[in-house]
A and B are shown apart, each in its own frame.
Chain A
């Protein structure tokens, strides 16, 4: 089985992200239930599950956009509950890409990319622009640097968002349904960018229902329902032999739509 190799491939690597017994409540709604998840350095995880199952909540806890009520989260050695300093460190080391892009509309593509490196890493404008140009070219958008986000297509905007995150030279990337706000013809250009990132060894957690992408890059596919991790496996086994009834029902629905 080729895919058990890919798990073995990362099993010796130090953990990049560890979640232990994580519990998250929104008021009296139990959004994450006893989440245990370790992501090795260089590992690529695809997270899927029905709407409302807690996928976004889970990855948003990792960079502290959401706070947890109990358990612990350690990212690249920083324990998230410790202090604001730990939160700052984690946010500098973990990039995030949102479904709605969330580019800064009043800034050009270049300005979007250089803001955080200048404010956080205190790079000079020239240094920051050099890095930004490198990553904009990497996502094949180097010639659009002077434009404002509204002048770009959705697929281009999402690639800018990826470049903006990369400019901070993150150790890991979180993607929250990066292609679901896109017109179908633009999905591929964004997935291709993510695939190339994966090839270069980036640690990634992707919430997505793009099963082709999952097969191609994921080391593990994780299925969530009702705030719990129901099942996880390498993509081959996950798709061909789902163990749980809920997983089978979910996959049946996804495949019916594609």
Chain B
């Protein structure tokens, strides 16, 4: 494998990272919104959030990408491929992150909410100063775990024409007729991205259970 093939794979890798970043960047604000709606006492907020989570966790990411790429233009939205993929990844990530963060918010004790209420803190402050920072901390391991899933999941974007790492590997392998070598390199690249993240997630989890035992 020459430098030309290798740089082609690296270009694919940069798309993989880029798509992950897009999914994550979109998933964070929408995920927070979904989580907040999901814990609201108002049915008109809670029910749509539950439906959103059910819809995007209950269908394959591959199908979501298809619908965004082929379906949205049929509805009259003419989007570039990257935008369709960004929408699908954002929807997908927001449903998983929303559910992770909902659990974390509900794990914060009732006493914290009551202390905030008794001090007269406005709702916004109670959420953003008291509940969410604590929820964010306890949800970090699961959030990092989802980041790893999302990174691997971006390989599905190949289906709508994205030459990310997996697709780039396919193309190079077809040229060189050396699939074992090429996919060995591709696998090593995924591993080099995912393993440190997984390691970090485990580390966070350990330090947290240590903190809880203190």
1/0 per residue, CB under 8 A from B, across A92-103: the answer is 101110101011
Report the stretch among B8-16, B53-61, B113-121, B200-208 that lies at the interface. B113-121
Complex Cα–Cα for A150 and B130 (A) = 16
A88 within 8 Å of B (CB atoms): yes
Which residues of B are found within 8 Å of A103, using beta-carbon distances? 115
A63 touching B137, Cβ below 8 Å: no
Which residues of B are found within 8 Å of A100, using beta-carbon distances? 111
Which residues of A are found within 8 Å of B115, using beta-carbon distances? 96, 98, 102-104
Interface size on B, residues (CB 8 A): 18
In the assembled complex, the CB of B108 is this many whole angstroms from the nearest CB of chain A, namely 10
Interface size on A, residues (CB 8 A): 23
B214 touching A150, Cβ below 8 Å: yes
B125 touching A119, Cβ below 8 Å: yes
B214 touching A168, Cβ below 8 Å: no
A120 within 8 Å of B (CB atoms): yes
B134 touching A65, Cβ below 8 Å: no
Complex Cα–Cα for A134 and B122 (A) = 25
1/0 per residue, CB under 8 A from A, across B107-145: the answer is 001011011011111100100011001100100000000
B119 touching A168, Cβ below 8 Å: yes
Complex Cα–Cα for A100 and B119 (A) = 15
B134 touching A105, Cβ below 8 Å: yes
Complex Cα–Cα for A168 and B119 (A) = 8
In the assembled complex, the CB of A244 is this many whole angstroms from the nearest CB of chain B, namely 32
CB proximity to B under 8 Å, residues A181-219: none
A165 touching B119, Cβ below 8 Å: yes
Question: Which listed residue (A65, A104, A119) contacts B112, Cβ 8 A?
Answer: A104
1/0 per residue, CB under 8 A from B, across A134-157: the answer is 000000000000000010000000
A164 within 8 Å of B (CB atoms): yes
In the assembled complex, the CB of A251 is this many whole angstroms from the nearest CB of chain B, namely 30
Nearest B residue (CB) for A120: B120
A106 touching B121, Cβ below 8 Å: no
B119 touching A88, Cβ below 8 Å: no
B117 touching A65, Cβ below 8 Å: yes
A92 touching B114, Cβ below 8 Å: no
Given A106-B137, A115-B125, A119-B129: A91 and B117 within 8 A (CB)? yes
Question: Which listed residue (A91, A105, A106, A150) contacts B119, Cβ 8 A?
Answer: A91
Complex Cα–Cα for A96 and B112 (A) = 13
Complex Cα–Cα for A243 and B163 (A) = 86
B111 touching A164, Cβ below 8 Å: no
Nearest B residue (CB) for A174: B118
A115 touching B114, Cβ below 8 Å: no
Complex Cα–Cα for A164 and B133 (A) = 19
Which residues of B are found within 8 Å of A102, using beta-carbon distances? 109, 111-112, 114-115
Complex Cα–Cα for A100 and B129 (A) = 20
Complex Cα–Cα for A102 and B134 (A) = 13
Q: Which residues of A contact B (CB under 8 A)?
A: 63, 65, 88, 91-92, 94-96, 98, 100, 102-106, 115-116, 119-120, 150, 164-165, 168
What are 14 A-B contacts defined by CB distance under 8 Å? A63-B118, A91-B117, A91-B119, A91-B120, A94-B118, A96-B115, A96-B118, A98-B115, A106-B137, A115-B129, A116-B121, A120-B121, A120-B122, A168-B120
The 5 closest A-B pairs by CB, nearest first: A91-B120, A102-B115, A96-B118, A116-B119, A102-B111
